[in-house]
Structure 1
Amino acid sequence: MNTKTKISLLILMGFLTITSCGKKETTPLDQSNEMTETEGEIAVTPEAVSNVLVIEGNDQMQFSTKELKAVAGKPITLTLKHVGKIPKEAMGHNLVILQEGTDEAAFAAKAIQAQATDYIPASEKATIIAHTKLIGGGEEDTIEFTIDKKGTYNFLCTFPGHVALMKGVLIVE
């Protein structure tokens, strides 16, 4: 190899070494850390949790997320949007948040029988924290509720057959 080729390869190898040595973690400009001051101390919370939640359901029987987060003791505003096109009679979605310890399978079995009440079984009212109405393609529903106790609460869609794919957890911190 001639000297020019050796120098070119050396420069290329140096460039590749520098650019592949790792990724610097940065916080996006639009995402700031929440800071609170308590008796002269400053605490930095890495991830501020908002109690305004939006989740989407589609024509493929899927929620846009399987995990939602909220702060205990503060009002929660939850919006369910059906981003599909199929009407609720064929592809309806709702979102039901259950008390901790509720048997999802047993609840869903009772919900299938509750067509007259949009698949919300009246007999299970004590196990339901909150629920949206049943919506079809292009519709949305917003509900407000408060959960005082920290914990993990299951949510699901009770339209027949949807619970197998459309479920997740609401983590209240």
Structure 2
Amino acid sequence: MKTALLLAGLALAGVSSHAFAADNCTVKIKANDAMQYDIKTATVSASCPAITIELTHTGKMPVAAMGHNVVVSQTVLYDAIARDGLKAGAAAGYVPKNDPRVIAATALIGGGQSTKTTFAGSRLKAGGDYAFYCSFPGHATLMRGKLIVVK
């Protein structure tokens, strides 16, 4: 009986650590009509071959009034990228096109919609200082968080 419980416990431990490793390559974020993300920090592994950002807009407002996206960059660059995103305009999703400072960006979505983007994990370095934020006009100040990259 004890052996069976020990084996079951070890099997569950193996499954949960594998699930953690898989989850460490995907970041799920919800945004609402109150200009808020549901998380302030996210952790990913630098060893992930690919990292996926999944965004769900849980609000009801349309994209033109309360659009949200997720942009990933080095923290020191977020303010400049958000400013340049304003110049890029709505047609570009408020993200400068082909900007090498942008590590990743989802599409801009409205209430009830979801989107995702995937990028090479090699674009991030363990211990680096990264941020995620919404580039819709006026949102980056409130809607931002820290992306923690571990080995």
Q: TM-score range by the shorter chain?
A: 0.7 to 0.9
Aligned-partner Cα distance in 2 for 1:102–1:128 = 12
Q: How does 1:1-173 map to 2 (within 5 A)?
A: 48-49=20-21, 50=23, 51-74=25-48, 75-98=50-73, 100=74, 102-115=76-89, 116-122=91-97, 125-148=99-122, 149-150=125-126, 151-173=128-150
- Please, what TM-score do these two structures have when normalized by structure 1? 0.68
Aligned-partner Cα distance in 2 for 1:72–1:146 = 10
More RCO (CA 8 Å, sep 6+):
2
Task: Answer yes or no: is the 8 Å Cα contact 1:96–1:128 preserved in 2.
Answer: yes
Aligned-partner Cα distance in 2 for 1:127–1:105 = 11
Aligned-partner Cα distance in 2 for 1:52–1:101 = 20
Instruction: Give percent identity, aligned residues only.
Output: 38
Provide structure 1 residue ranges, at least 5 long, that are not aligned to the other structure: 1-28, 36-44
CA RMSD of aligned residues (A): 2.2
The alignment partner of 2:100 has SS state of helix
* TM-superposed deviation, 1:34: 5.7
Moved more, 80-89 or 50-59: 50-59
Deviating runs (4+, > 4 A) in structure 1?
Answer: 32-35
Aligned-partner Cα distance in 2 for 1:156–1:168 = 6
* TM-superposed deviation, 1:103: 2.6
Task: Answer yes or no: is the 8 Å Cα contact 1:73–1:146 preserved in 2.
Answer: no
Greater Rg by CA: 1
The alignment partner of 1:125 has SS state of coil
* TM-superposed deviation, 1:129: 0.7
- Please, what TM-score do these two structures have when normalized by structure 2? 0.78
Provide structure 2 residue ranges, at least 5 long, that are not aligned to the other structure: 1-8
* TM-superposed deviation, 1:33: 5.2
- Comparing both structures, which one devotes a greater share of its residues to helix? 2
